[in-house]
Structure 1
Amino acid sequence: MSTQKCHGRVIGGKRVAASLAGCTALVLAVTGTPAQAQGRDPGRQTLPAGDGWGSAGTGTTGGARADAAHVRTVATWDEFRTALKEGGTAPRIIKVRGTIDANADGCSSFAADGYDFDAYLEKYSPQNWGLDTNLDGEPADSPEGLRRISADNQARAIKVAVPANTTIIGLGRNAGLKGASLQITGVDNVIVRNLTVESPLDCFPQWDPTDGDTGNWNSEYDSAVVYGSTHVWLDHNTFTDGAHPDSSLPKYFGMIYQQHDGELDIVKGADYVTASWNVFTEHDKTLMIGNSDSAATAAVDRGHLKVTLHHNLFSGLVERAPRVRFGQVDAYNNHYVADASYAYSFGIGMESQLVAEKNAFTLPAGISAARILKKWKEAPVTAVGNHVNGVPVDLIAVHNAEIPAETLQSGAGWTPTLRTRVDSPKAVPGIVGHRAGAGRIC
């Protein structure tokens, strides 16, 4: 298919106005609203028909039908939270101006009376507490109890519930959310576009002495969670650790004081999600689809978690781009740029049915293409037409040749049909590099 560009450039050999074309070849028709009129307002654009799993069934229109009373422009965290709460399930459009910081007052504003991090380190150090007992039974007035209270304070302050029939869109090139956690939970029909989302810092990670051989720090707060929701479109966003990459975090008890969780989680029976033209960068555990192998989780997730990932840039990440359990996931035309911290891109998990097609991978010297796929559980995968450093590579064959103990089976058992355009993997780095991320919607 032809490549579409912004600013009235060439589309299929013809030059057209950007207001009609748009950056993402959007089909803008909404019942009763002319497509051309919507093209002038990205906040009223909808997911095109056939554009990934998010377009299945009723499709994803977000707040496109909002009346004037339900269109808000916000510039502060309080304004943003109020705009999300008002209006019930009526269609709404929330336009974000500038960067909104959910943690502008700092971590100390969440701390419970009496909480002392030095006292926490002293009591629960491996030398004093050991590595055999977790901290779950600690009373409310203990350092761990006070940490829990503090963590609850932060959760109430930075988590926000996104209602059904909502579009959240950044204005211009510099709009974003910092330190916030978007909870898209149990709702239908949500669009999030054109935001730079800086991962929230967990101010109060928990030490778990029993996690691994030497204990570990565990954190909360994903940048965005799609939990049991349907028809969600995440488009042209940039997910990043921003000013606080993992490399800047200290170590305690010999382990990194991990203050980040995921950039995006799609879990608990969520369905019909399209993530397109986003940038995921500077993160460890990036994108998880399905969060557990347990029987209880399987009962909820089996037959759901239908997700499309296309034309996204995954850069400077460690793992989970994505890790998949149960879901039918279509990942095509994405660009993966690895550095020395790279572990893997695609995690093949419990009953997953991943199709990875015509993606491009840029790997540094010393990192083998065999590491692109990581087997966690026995599940077939389709991986065809992918390029590594500009050269076609059979990802399954190279994985099985170099890691025979984790042999993968070819053939996910289904063929994606919901695609509006498929680019050559050779062209993907240039296309995605120029057009993915926040600030690149016409």
Structure 2
Amino acid sequence: MASPSHRRSLRKRRSLLVAGAAVAATGLGAAVFVMNADANPVDLAHQTLPAKDGWAASGSGTTGGSQADSAHVFTVSTRAQLVKALGSASNSTAKIIKVKGTIDANTDDAGKKLTCADYTSGTGYSLAAYLKAYDPSTYGRSKLPKGTQETARAAAQAKQAKNIVFKVPANTTIVGVPGTKAGITGGSLQVKGVDNVIIRNLTLTATEDCFPQWDPTDGDDGNWNSAYDAVTLRTATHVWADHNTFSDGPHFDSANAKYYGREYQIHDGALDITNGSDLVTVERNQFTNHDKTMLIGSSDTDSTGKLHISIHHNVWKGIIQRAPLTRIGQVHIYNNYYDTTALNGYAPSYSINSRAKAQVVAEDNYWRTATGQKVAKLLSGDGTGSVAGSGNLVNGTATDLVAAYNAANSKKIKTTVNWTPTLTAGLQTSAKNLPTELATTTGAGVLS
């Protein structure tokens, strides 16, 4: 448990509520300030991850761009400004990027709105031609699409990726300016092969792939697979994602078309942590209106010895699956609120999946379930993963989630793990008040 003084500090941070004073900062834009419970100003842009606050606090901790000099503090409100502020992904000079208002990733350098049709220009791609070329009734189901239209699809997808994927360098803080509805729509923040990144106070919506790929070998009936996560961590270390809101809106999956009898899925993950990423804390975010929400580990073998992740005090609502799906690593999931009732057409399948020998400790979380929903379906696994922990509540009642799952499934979830969480700042040993507390202390815009 955290010390009393540290718990008081955390309570102050959680009560960051009002009066974010906009102060001119050497001509570089508004300083990001809020007030804490003692009326002392807190600069969100320079704030670092508190000690013992999950796996991202281990070792050197996570400080993002807090050491940036004045020349590397930027306020951005357009896609072009964001790209310029980020600079080269290989430049590790500490920087702070303050997002003011909502940035539309699907715009050109002059701010003109771009559509999917703009990305197809010059590629020769058309959906109608693609559907004709790879119709399973003629092309078959044994191999991936190959040929003129698949090459054209890939080219169009690459054009979109060049526009909407923002590569985040090491030692960077990206933070929303309070009171400005700060966020990115249609974009993908990529944290790849770098260390020490903070992402906070942003609304991240409508990350959509104009050109999903048809894979007839994916499952029994094939699937359309998209390419972009709202935030993706790949071989990234020391990352803190705090007080963000993730959503598919305004285009929900229920509006997706169907081709070859399968959903034309334009959304991928909300926040995926893969390819050997390590030492990550995800806290006080809201994950809403999404299907495959958080993937931890992209395969059963690619991240051995990595994937130390802490996920706490988040709200998951209208999430179908992967909240999260875990592989291999040591993952601590505590004090989250799962509302598994249907929302905007998103009907939940499961919350936590432990597979590929994942070592999950899930404790003191709260689930709200719909009438008739079975507790056995809150977890999932492949028979090799573990879920330990206690204090989990379902509709206010203490419930052994693993026992309920194992009683209904042949591939059992193991109940012991090979580690004990120690980086547990903020851990509340009672989950009963989480639905009320987290409603007002999570997501973007709270720190204002």
Q: Does 1:372 align with 2:375?
A: no
The farther-off stretch of 172-181 and 188-197 is 172-181
AA partner of residue 145 (structure 1) = T
Alpha-carbon distance in structure 2 between the residues aligned to 1:44 and 1:190:
12
- Match of residue 130 from structure 1: 140
Letter in 1 for 2:65: G
Deviation of 1:347 (Å): 0.6
Q: What's the % identity of the aligned pairs?
A: 45
Q: How many Å separate the matches in 1 of 2:331 and 2:201?
A: 23
Aligned residue in 2 for 1:58: 60
1:414 to 402, 410, 419: 419
The equivalent position to 2:390 in structure 1, one of 384, 388, 396, is 384
Select 1:238's aligned residue among 237, 240, 245: 245
**Displacement of 1:368 after TM fit?**
1.1
Deviations 1:152-197 (A, max 9, x none): 1111111111011100001124110011111101111100000000
Compute the TM-score of the two structures, normalised by the length of structure 1.
0.89
Report the counterpart of residue 47 of structure 1 in structure 2.
49
Q: Which runs of 5+ in 2 are unaligned?
A: 1-6, 19-32, 107-112
Matched, 1:92 2:95: yes
Indicate the SS of the match to 1:284: strand
CA distance in 2, matches of 1:353, 1:8: 36
How far residue 235 of structure 1 moved from its aligned partner, in angstroms, is 0.2
Name the residue aligned to 1:31.
none
Match of 1:109 among 91, 97, 118: 118
Q: Which moved more, 1:215-224 or 1:123-132?
A: 123-132
Q: Quick one: distance in 2 between partners of 1:72 and 1:345?
A: 38
- 1:398 maps to which of 373, 396, 404: 404
**Runs of 4+ residues deviating >4 angstroms:** 1-5, 20-23
Shift of 1:40: 3.2
TM-align CA RMSD = 2.0
Give the alignment partner of residue 331 of structure 1, picking from 327, 330, 333: 333
2:162 aligned to which of 148, 156, 159: 156
Q: TM-score, normalised by structure 2?
A: 0.88
Query: Is the 8 Å Cα contact of residues 22 and 441 (structure 1) preserved in structure 2?
Result: no
| 1:110-259 alignment runs, 5 A limit | 110-113=119-122, 114-135=124-145, 137-138=146-147, 142-173=148-179, 174-259=181-266
Deviation of 1:247 (Å)? 0.8
| 2:362 alignment partner, SS class | strand
Q: Which residue of 1 aligns with 2:83?
A: 81
Q: What's the CA shift for 1:200?
A: 1.4
Q: Measured at CA, do residues 331 and 249 of structure 1 come closer, stay the same or move farther in structure 2, by a change above 3 Å?
A: same
Corresponding letter in the other structure for 2:260 = F
- Corresponding residue number in structure 2 for 1:30: none
User: Structure 1 stretch 61-70 or stretch 413-422: which is displaced more?
Assistant: 413-422
- In the alignment, the residues of structure 2 paired with residue 22 and residue 64 of structure 1 have an alpha-carbon distance, to the nearest angstrom, of 23
CA distance in 1, matches of 2:121, 2:318: 36
Distance in 1 between residues matched to 2:50 and 2:85, nearest whole Å = 26
Give a deviation string over 1:1-43, Cα, whole Å, max 9, x none: 565552689xxxxxxx9735599xxxxxxxxxxxx7xx43210
How many correspondences in the alignment? 411
Find the aligned partners of 1:250 and 1:107 in 2 and give their Cα distance: 15
